[in-house]
Amino acid sequence: MDGARNKVGYPRRVLSRQSAEWRGFAVATALEDIRRPTEWTFEQDRHVLVIHAAGQMASMDTIFENGPRSDTRPEPGGIWLIPAGRRYAALARGDMARFIEIQLPVCPRGYREAELRPVIAGTDAFLLHAGERLAALIGSKDDISQMLGENLTEALRGHLLLEYALGDAFPAQFGSPAHFSIREQTMLRDFIEDHLGEGLSLESMANLTERSVHNLLIAFRRAFGMTPIQYVIERRLARARMMLLGSRLTITEIALATGFASHSHLTATFRRHLGMSPSEWRRGHRK
């Protein structure tokens, strides 16, 4: 894990590592050789969530300074939650193990400063699923993947604060209904149409309407009957169909003009939503 340090006597053997960041969340996935004793220690100014994604542990001793300790042998799917400023140490041994590490700020915009309770080898199906989905997005550069990452981190943040915060980390307006005015709906439609061929983000839409991303996601679904990601894909496919019929541009040119990363990206999305490739659709609809 990127945030972990270790003593000279217990060197870490990281075989592979990938990382990415979404709205202040640093996400990394790493494969480590722990056939010899390996020590991890954390003490950071950010909260750290570690998910044991795969691999068997023969033994593991863990301790929080002034907090809980355990010699429980964790199973894949186990989670460790290390609150900001708390010192954590673990000595583990097993075989090849894959971990997902997620670091998040203590006081993100739109939330109160949060103190989280420490967790050792807990189980949480939502955090496991969200962590795996985020790890799978590492390396994806298209804006749909980036928006999906933003969406997942927002959901993960809310879940952590709801289930693990000591005290109320949500501002009062979080429970208030979120609705767009007609003006806001029009602004968003125009903004998305004007930027279909460019990179879009949930952050840019939230800034346009002067809302938090959390509030934007709720209000958008209520106003449009779908998520921002679903809406952007629908509008891009509509524009791509129009260009397939009304122009002689290649599939690659149409893909890039409508915000898709490549010919194959457009083709995969087209096939998933319409059951055929862009070329097949063009042949079937041109007279």
Extended beta strands in 108-170, E state: 119-123
Ramachandran quadrant class, 245 (left: phi over 0; alpha: psi -120 to 50; beta: rest): alpha
Domains of the chain, by residue range, sit at: 14-164, 177-225, 230-285
Residue 3 is predicted with a pLDDT of 53
Buried b or exposed e, range 126-136, using 16+ CB within 10 angstroms? ebbebbeebbe
Contact criterion met (CB below 8 Å) for 239 and 232: no
Instruction: Encode pLDDT of 41-90 as tens digits.
Output: 888 888 999 999 999 888 888 888 777 788 877 788 899 999 888 888 88
Residue 136 is predicted with a pLDDT of 95
d(CA 74, CA 210): 44
Ramachandran quadrant class, 24 (left: phi over 0; alpha: psi -120 to 50; beta: rest): left
Return the CATH fold of 230-285.
Arc Repressor Mutant, subunit A (1.10.10)
Pairing of strands 78-82, 38-42: unpaired
d(CA 277, CA 287): 18
d(CA 33, CA 55): 10
Residue 270 is predicted with a pLDDT of 94
β-strand partners of 62: 70, 90
Mean pLDDT, each 10-residue run in order, the chain (287 residues): 53 90 92 90 88 89 81 85 88 91 77 78 91 94 92 89 74 59 93 93 92 88 93 95 92 94 93 94 83
Residue 179 makes CB contacts below 8 A (sequence gap 6+) with 219, 222, 223
Distances (CA, A) of 182 to 98, 208, 214: 48, 14, 20
Residue 96 makes CB contacts below 8 A (sequence gap 6+) with 15, 31, 32, 33, 34, 35, 55
Class of domain 14-164 as given by CATH: mainly beta
Q: For the chain, count helices (H), then strands (E).
A: 9, 10
Read off the tokens for 25: 């969340």
How far is CA 188 from its chain centroid? 23
pTM summary value: 0.81
Residue 68 is predicted with a pLDDT of 77
